[in-house]
Structure 1
Amino acid sequence: MPDTEIPPKGPAAPPSGRSPAARPRRDTRGTAARIRTAARRLFVEKGYEATSMDAVAAAAPVSKRTLYQHFPGKAELFGAVIDEAWSHLTRSPLLPQDTSGDPRAVLRAYVGRLAEHWDRPDVIPLLRLVIAEAPRFPELSQAYFAAGKEPAVKGLSAYLGALAAAGWLKPGRDPQLAAAQFLGAIKEPLFWPRVLGVPAAFDAAEAVERAIDAVLGPA
């Protein structure tokens, strides 16, 4: 059965008649980070359905009231875990804002950053979890898409749009479709074998160059 725990009632009114809004809660002790770490471990080890908010509170360890103050439900907690797993990739500029550099070198470096992301110990296990449990819990795939995949595609689309405006792409080429096709040409030979736990069948450097060729034309 899905986690159906009822969040505890909110904290009592603060003394001296001050409203909660007058004293915004600050995570000065790193409590939210500790909760996310505990939740990520439990999600990966036990799965989404089998991980209860009680178990997260015990593993953090925090009170249930503290847990729900930071994360109102399990779906929000899972979204925060996904967001953190992608944050090093989505919250730092992966691509330049202009087209002054060599586009081929820029795209090679971009793929290098993607590969570093795939190497992180929590990324592929969390994706496997999403694939396994999303049919019963569609909020998992929604969280994964919103926190990771969508920002990554948008960033690449923006860069390819700038290249198109500068004449690097073929006239009429849709930058968003080009971004999706580029990522597909990279992930099919290099990423999905990792997810499935099988050896890659293609040379990584060759696969990257052919993907770049498909976007920019042969060097």
Structure 2
Amino acid sequence: MSVQDVRPPHQDTRRDAVLHHARRYFMSEGYAATRMEPIAREAGVSTATLYGYFPGKAELFKAVIEDAANDFAAQMDFVRSQQGSARVQLTSFLTAYARFMSDPFVRSVFRLVMAERPRFKSVAMSFFERGRDFFGASLMGVIQTMIDRGEIACEKPSWAAGQLMGMVEHPVFFVPLVTGEEVRTRRTVDQIAADAVETFLARYGT
């Protein structure tokens, strides 16, 4: 499932259309080259309407990043409710996380946030902190539950969560991010997640 498939319904369809087209422009053109008028035209609204929602490009950019973060959170919500053994729960989480991190759109958002961090430091920090919370904190909670049930043994759930997520992040996110999609792993996303879980359980399983 793509990140763009989980957008929650909103009542204001015109504002949604503006954010949708603004997101595409910011991702493809970058902040500096993006102009407000083409966004309004493609969203089917007047420039006055667009400026009524967002007084300037900076406010529109902030709203686009916040909207993207909300999409990311919505995609991972179902993982928190998964039940089953340690292997089942971890595989469910890691597979969803790997698919999320391998989505080209997600990398586009991260590239944009990193590129505009000097200009929008608070927006960038909020974006990364939310990502840490709804991924890392969720996984730490899952791991702590497994510790309480006696399924795994580790003293630092935060370290264990970081190690597990790192085994996914390197091949599906950081390598394509750095190489511009030119270098891709031969393993499928599901294989990467399964390998990471097996390595994790070999280290921490009881």
Q: Select the structure that is richer in helix.
A: 2
> CA 1:135–1:45 in 2, change beyond 3 Å: closer, same or farther?
same
Alignment match of 1:59 (pick from 42, 47, 67): 42
Residue 80 in structure 1 maps to residue 62 in structure 2: no
8 Å Cα contact 1:82/1:147 also seen in 2: no
Cα contact 2:66–2:127 (8 A) shared by 1: no
Residue 183 of structure 1: which of 153, 159, 165 is its match? 165
State the shift of 1:39 in Å: 0.5
1:154-173 counterparts in 2 under 5 A? Answer: 154-172=137-155
| Structure 2: distance between partners of 1:119 and 1:170 | 30
Amino acid at match of 1:82: A
Distance apart, 1:71 and its partner CA: 4.2
User: Which residue of structure 1 lines up, in the alignment, with residue 4 of structure 2?
Assistant: none
- What letter corresponds to residue 30 of structure 2 in structure 1? G
Equivalences for residues 139-158 of structure 1 within 5 A = 139-158=122-141
* Aligned-residue offset at 1:147: 4.4
Which among 192, 199, 206 is matched to residue 174 of structure 2? Answer: 192
Flag the structure with larger Rg: 1
* Preserved CA contact (<8 Å) 1:169 1:215: no
Contact 1:182 1:212 in 2 (8 A): yes
Query: How many equivalent residue pairs?
Result: 189
Distance 1:70 1:209, change over 3 A: same
- Summarize the Cα distance change of 1:54–1:146 in structure 2 as closer, same or farther, 3 Å threshold: farther
State the 4+ residue runs in structure 1 displaced beyond 4 angstroms.
204-207
Note the C-alpha offset of 1:188.
0.9
Query: Which one of the candidate residues 73, 78, 82 is aligned to 1:93?
Result: 78
Seen in structure 2, the aligned counterparts of structure 1 residues 120 and 49 have a Cα distance that, compared at 3 Å, is: same
Instruction: Return the offset for 1:48.
Output: 1.8
* Partner Cα separation in structure 2 for residue 171 and residue 28 of structure 1: 46
Once the two structures are TM-superposed, the CA of residue 161 in structure 1 deviates from its matched residue by 1.4
TM-score normalised to structure 2 length:
0.73
One-letter code of the match for 1:125? S
Quick one: distance in 2 between partners of 1:188 and 1:33?
A: 33
Q: Describe the shift of the 1:183–1:147 C-alpha distance in structure 2 as closer, same or farther (beyond 3 A).
A: same
TM-score, normalised by the number of residues in structure 1: 0.70
Instruction: Identify the match of residue 216 of structure 1 among 196, 201, 206.
Output: 201
The answer on whether the counterparts of 2:154 and 2:160 sit within 8 Å (CA) in structure 1 is no
Percent identity over the alignment?
24
Secondary structure in 1 matching 2:63? helix
Summarize the Cα distance change of 1:88–1:96 in structure 2 as closer, same or farther, 3 Å threshold.
Answer: closer
Q: Equivalent residue of 2:150, what SS? A: coil
Shift of 1:184: 0.9
- Structure 2: runs of 5 or more not aligned: 1-9
Indicate the structure whose relative CO is greater, using CA pairs within 8 Å and at least 6 residues apart. 2
How far, CA to CA, are the matches of 1:93 and 1:192 in structure 2? 25
Deviation at 1:202, TM superposition (A): 6.2
Structure 1 stretches of 5 or more lacking a match? 1-26
Q: Deviations over 1:102-130 (max 9, x none)?
A: 21122222222223324545222222222
CA contact (8 A) 1:189 1:202 kept: no
Classify the secondary structure of the residue corresponding to 2:79: coil
> Relative to 1, partners in 2 of residues 1:32 and 1:147: Cα closer, same or farther, differing over 3 Å?
farther
Q: Is the 8 A contact 2:176 2:183 kept in 1?
A: yes
